[in-house]
Chains A and B, each alone.
Chain A
């Protein structure tokens, strides 16, 4: 099964999927008085863990592909926090490619983010203090993770593990890495963290549940109506 692996480390585990919730996007500050024609905003594009945890346990490298008008449009970031700061004037699509560690996944994953510099409300005042932030929530799903990957992330806050299949015993977790190294990787104390958006699934779930209830009620009503009409029709049906 799977690719020819070297040794047991890469053994894949079926029926388990690991999901990594991430948020990717940008924050852009207007430069105000210091703005020039070609450098009106200072922006940072980044990929972070949804709860600001360190992603480097999963992600090895992130490549941001910028607009061709930038010098060296291919920017490679090898360590957490996976972000890139630049200054410019235009909005364009940035291709973000995530490269994972060898035991996580061998193929990269692509995300696309449209750089947002100008606020929704075009007529409003632009402030140099408050950035324009555009973030998207996403979850990366790894099907059939390797044993070593599973062992590494077993208790890591950045990663969501579902219920493991019955009787499944994980190998003992690898000891946590160097404290200082880990601290640097997470974005909890990031300078931009105050602007980070909060993504709560609770709201969305509530909304969906309410909608479903409405639809289900409607369906029930229709079914009653249909059966009633059917009975009415029976009276008039010719012999």
Chain B
């Protein structure tokens, strides 16, 4: 309650009673009729937008004028060919048993296996690899097992592969169909005729499938890599072809930078049809991020000027640096009395120049690092806000700021921050015992009049 006072919240017992009142109301609203509350809660507990269950139907009772009994009665099924007498429970309404066939008989489907006569066999179906006996057996099994060839292959007396059996069955059926048909046009639509079974293709397909299935993770990864590589190559080729179109002599755009050389499957990238004339003095309009891709794209050019190449490499090397850094690099070069663009750009000179630039970049980075570290160190030494996470950065702006803070705290005698114990260790604290008005604040901030 004190906390509430401090935070300035109104003490409102009213709101609590209000809550209690509203709850029972909502509860009775929510509970639907027809199903118990728990069951309703299972489905989410909230009324659906479109009630899927017609609630009134749920506890429907059968109309009271009918008399229902259940009886153990015999029945027949059209699906059974034998005369087996079976019994089951039947719902009898007013003493009248239900009529009609067994309700599951309609699911008894089977395949129409074409049966040939011996004559037809002699005429069309003789085959060196199959005897009549075998073919007959095959067709028997097909009918028995509804064309489940795997089972048929298993049951077949002589060892035959599934593909062979399928082949024989389908070709026989096809031939018979065509032979029996009055004209070829009539059966042309029949699926057996339209799409003949292709044995070799099937064998090949199954083999490939099993190969894919049995691939190890390692192989999968390799395949994915190769595909990605191929995609990249195709894309670079396409972009290169597109880049060939605007064939202007001045300031041409060097196409894609995706010409990275891959270690794996073939470097087919470099020899391409792209030959873009390289402007000597005009700066290139493209920025190539990676050094290796710079090299690759230069290679694609077939002919280029050394100064142009150097420019590209310099750009690539300093792509991560801001404009200010680049200017500083150039300033440094001038201080060292090195030409910004070498006067004699031979291969060796250009290489040295590039290395020098990179080293200068490193130098500048290190300088920055040193600055950070020194600033950090000075803030630690002052001991003021050294435990603050952002202190290093902040004190970078001006080490003076820190000193001002220290002065402030000494003069006003206020200690900021939560960790007072640590601050006692610091040097030169004037009055640390005075209480801090803003004890809850973790970050030091400028003094406010209210803090005093």
Contact = CB atoms under 8 A, between A and B. Distances in A.
B370 A225 contact: yes
B336 interface: yes
B298 interface: yes
Given A141-B305, A204-B349, A215 B277 contact: no
B370 A105 contact: no
Nearest to B309: A141
Interface residues of B, number: 62
Contacts of A223: 366
Interface in B266-318: 268, 270-273, 275-282, 298-299, 301-307, 309
B340 interface: no
A236 B377 contact: yes
A105 B345 CA distance: 22
A233 B380 contact: yes
B305 A236 contact: no
Contacts of B211: none
A139 interface: yes
Given A97-B249, A238-B386, A139 B347 contact: yes
B373 A229 contact: yes
A144 B205 CA distance: 44
B422 to A, nearest CB: 6
A49 interface: no
A204 B347 CA distance: 12
Q: How large is the interface on A (under 10, 10 to 19, 20 to 34, 35 or more residues)?
A: 35 or more
Contacts of A203: 344
Contacts of B377: 229, 232-233, 236
A19 B359 CA distance: 27
A25 B267 CA distance: 39
B442 to A, nearest CB: 14
Contacts of A138: 280, 305-307, 345
Nearest to A111: B280
B346 A139 contact: yes
A211 B373 contact: no
A54 to B, nearest CB: 19
A121 interface: no
B369 interface: yes
Contacts of A2: 271-273
Contacts of A97: 249
Given A209-B352, A226-B370, 9 more contacts: A14-B271, A140-B303, A144-B271, A201-B349, A208-B349, A210-B336, A211-B356, A215-B360, A216-B359
Q: Which 6 A-B pairs have the closest CB atoms?
A: A236-B380, A1-B271, A139-B306, A2-B271, A107-B275, A211-B336
23 contacts: A2-B272, A100-B303, A105-B275, A105-B303, A108-B277, A111-B280, A112-B279, A112-B281, A139-B345, A141-B305, A143-B303, A143-B304, A201-B348, A203-B344, A204-B343, A212-B356, A218-B363, A222-B366, A226-B373, A236-B381, A237-B386, A238-B380, A238-B419
